[in-house]
């Protein structure tokens, strides 16, 4: 990389304090997408971001309405022969409960020991702020970008991106690009620089088991009817075999078994299993036999109960047979598992394993496709190069267990290769109390992004198109 960035770096250096103050202002707005009462906060956050985009010099800036929170769009398209990149991050955040476990209020950001603590400090306002800072630096210092950029900031990621998917489909022309950069991922445990190369998909369902019309007295009816809780327990216990494999018939049929090369790559990742176990606080790690923990979370599909409830849940004793009990169950999916197909297999398994004497229903709540990026795509190679230049070490290629639904939308709907470029420290406690971002990740991340636009201008992107990304569809 021959280019020098001393002018941009000097600009960023001089603006650090103001930038942090601006980030704190963004973090102070409680943009929780799951709670309807925070809709005004989502609108306020979108307006805040649009204002910063205009100030940075972006054009066609708009706060576009959807049936959910608005989408914020803006672009700079004045590099006619250069590639166009669609940049994505989300400005909504998770709910904050349990609030009593926060050391400080979640929307009163505090800076301590090189971190910013606040809900959204990492997931995902950090990336919104980093992208805004990088483009502001380019346009302020050089009055131009080396490539074309379209920014798309979403306010509904933590609630399923349902409306974004429709908006993207309705605005395919407006979003035309050569590459998508999705910024919502983490480094490797130990805060080691990393690029995520795959995300799992999802199938989320609810199981309802109904017995008698009303709760029954467990004395007068104990021994006479099938207890719905017993039926649910049998169903849930049947989801895995003794080896920890998902026991749903056909579940693994479409799974691409990772090859030896990928397994070797994962085995080479630095991972302190004992430190990891202690951090989570479990007596031992567990899961599908024959795979390492990192393989199980990144390369293998899983099935988990997310919650269950029914009958008496209070203090003391109430002697009833519950009329109905329920469970939320979701599967994380890998290529080429189709979420709708997996739901059908799951539904059939539940019905087949329901004992007699109860009625069982299974409802699909949502789905997301798995996605995998082509690790040898020139845009990934370019990202690895600039991360190495800024952080001083080659990034690891990692396989993430989570899901970012928009990734498959860009891939499937827009036919774009996707690079997952994220800088969150893995101990950021996203979704949990006391979320925090390491400030060095923030500042260095901005410098990586600045260099990445230049690197992409030089990368052989043209003609890569959709084939650069392997879809799970």
Concerning whether 157 is annotated as a catalytic residue, the answer is: yes
CB of 374 to a second copy, least distance (A): 22
CB of 306 to a second copy, least distance (A): 5
Contact segment (CB under 8 A) with a second copy among 130-138, 139-147, 291-299, 452-460 equals 291-299
Contact segment (CB under 8 A) with a second copy among 108-116, 175-183, 223-231, 410-418 equals 223-231
Residue 272 contacts a second copy per CB under 8 A: no
CB of 289 to a second copy, least distance (A): 12
Out of 10, 282, 289, 462, the only residue in the binding site for a second copy (CB under 8 A) is: 282
206: exposed, middle or buried (Cβ count in 10 Å: 0-12, 13-18, 19+) = middle
126 in Cβ contact with 443 (< 8 Å): no
Binding string to a second copy for residues 145 to 164, with x set by CB under 8 A, is what? --------------xx----
- Which string of DSSP letters, residue by residue, matches 359-397? EEEEEEEEEE--EEE-TTSHHHHHHHHHHHHHHSSPPEE
- Containing 217, the helix (H) or strand (E) segment is strand 216-217
**Distance from C-alpha of 64 to C-alpha of 170, rounded to nearest angstrom:** 12
> How many CB atoms neighbour CB 381 within 10 A?
14
Q: Reduced to 3 states, what is the DSSP secondary structure of residue 210? A: strand
Residue 400 contacts a second copy per CB under 8 A: yes
CB of 195 to a second copy, least distance (A): 17
- Strand 110-112's sheet: what is its strand order? 110-112, 115-117, 436-438
Q: Please name which of 453, 455, 462, 463 lies closest in space to residue 382, comparing C-alpha atoms.
A: 455
Out of 79, 111, 233, 389, the only residue in the binding site for a second copy (CB under 8 A) is: 233
52 in Cβ contact with 31 (< 8 Å): no
- CA-atom Rg of the chain in angstroms: 24
41, 157, 184, 454: the catalytic one is: 157
**Distance from C-alpha of 87 to C-alpha of 179, rounded to nearest angstrom:** 9
Binding string to a second copy for residues 317 to 356, with x set by CB under 8 A, is what? xxxxxx--xxxx-x-x----------------------xx
Concerning whether 92 is annotated as a catalytic residue, the answer is: yes
Residue ranges in 427-456 that form contacts with a second copy under rule CB under 8 A: 430-433
Contact segment (CB under 8 A) with a second copy among 66-74, 211-219, 262-270, 380-388 equals 211-219
Out of 45, 227, 407, 444, the only residue in the binding site for a second copy (CB under 8 A) is: 227
Strands 110-112, 418-420: pairing kind: unpaired
Between 60 and 309, whose beta carbon lies closer to a second copy? Answer: 309
Out of 310, 339, 378, 395, the only residue in the binding site for a second copy (CB under 8 A) is: 310
Residue 213 contacts a second copy per CB under 8 A: yes
Read off the tokens for 147.
């490539």
The catalytic residue positions are: 92, 157
């Amino acid at each position: 990389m021959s280019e020098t960035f001393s002018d941009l770096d000097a600009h960023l250096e001089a603006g650090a304090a103001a930038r942090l103050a601006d980030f704190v202002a963004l973090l102070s707005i409680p943009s929780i997408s799951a709670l309807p009462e925070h809709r005004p906060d989502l609108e306020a956050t979108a307006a805040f971001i649009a204002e910063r985009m205009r100030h940075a010099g972006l054009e066609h800036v708009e706060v576009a309405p959807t049936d959910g929170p608005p989408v914020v769009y803006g672009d700079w398209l004045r590099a006619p022969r250069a590639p166009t990149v669609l940049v994505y991050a989300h400005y909504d955040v998770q709910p904050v409960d349990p609030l009593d476990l926060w050391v400080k209020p979640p929307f009163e950001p505090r800076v301590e020991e090189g971190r910013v603590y606040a809900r959204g400090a990492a997931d995902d306002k950090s990336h919104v702020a980093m992208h805004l800072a990088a483009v502001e630096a380019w346009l302020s210092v050089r009055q131009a970008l080396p490539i074309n950029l379209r920014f798309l900031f979403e306010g509904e990621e933590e609630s399923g991106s349902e409306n974004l998917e429709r908006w993207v489909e309705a605005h395919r022309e407006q979003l035309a690009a050569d590459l998508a950069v999705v910024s919502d991922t983490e480094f490797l445990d130990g805060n080691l620089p990393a690029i995520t190369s795959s995300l799992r998909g999802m199938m989320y369902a609810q199981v309802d088991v109904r017995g008698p019309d009303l709760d029954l007295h467990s004395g007068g009816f104990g021994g006479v009817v099938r207890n719905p809780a017993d039926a649910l327990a049998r169903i849930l216990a049947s989801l895995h075999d003794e080896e920890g494999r998902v026991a749903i018939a056909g579940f693994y049929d479409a799974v691409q078994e990772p090859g030896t090369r990928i397994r070797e790559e994962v085995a080479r990742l630095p991972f302190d299993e004992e430190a990891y176990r202690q951090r989570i606080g479990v007596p031992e790690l567990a899961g599908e036999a024959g795979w390492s923990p990192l393989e199980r979370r990144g390369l293998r599909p899983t099935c988990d109960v997310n919650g269950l409830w029914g009958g008496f849940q209070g203090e003391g004793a109430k002697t009833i047979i519950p009329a109905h009990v329920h469970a939320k169950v979701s599967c994380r999916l890998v290529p080429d598992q189709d979420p709708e197909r997996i739901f059908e297999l799951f539904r059939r398994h539940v019905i087949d394993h329901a004992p007699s004497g109860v009625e069982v229903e299974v409802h699909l709540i949502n789905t997301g496709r798995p996605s995998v990026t082509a690790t040898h795509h020139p845009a990934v190679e370019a990202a690895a190069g600039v991360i190495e230049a800024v952080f001083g070490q080659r990034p690891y290629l990692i396989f993430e267990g989570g899901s970012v639904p928009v990734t498959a939308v860009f891939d499937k709907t827009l036919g774009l290769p996707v690079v997952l470029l994220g800088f969150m420290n893995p101990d950021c406690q996203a979704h949990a109390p006391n979320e925090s971002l390491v400030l060095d990740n923030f500042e260095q991340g901005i410098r990586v992004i600045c260099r990445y636009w230049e690197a992409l201008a030089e990368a052989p992107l043209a003609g890569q198109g959709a084939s650069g990304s392997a879809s799970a569809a």
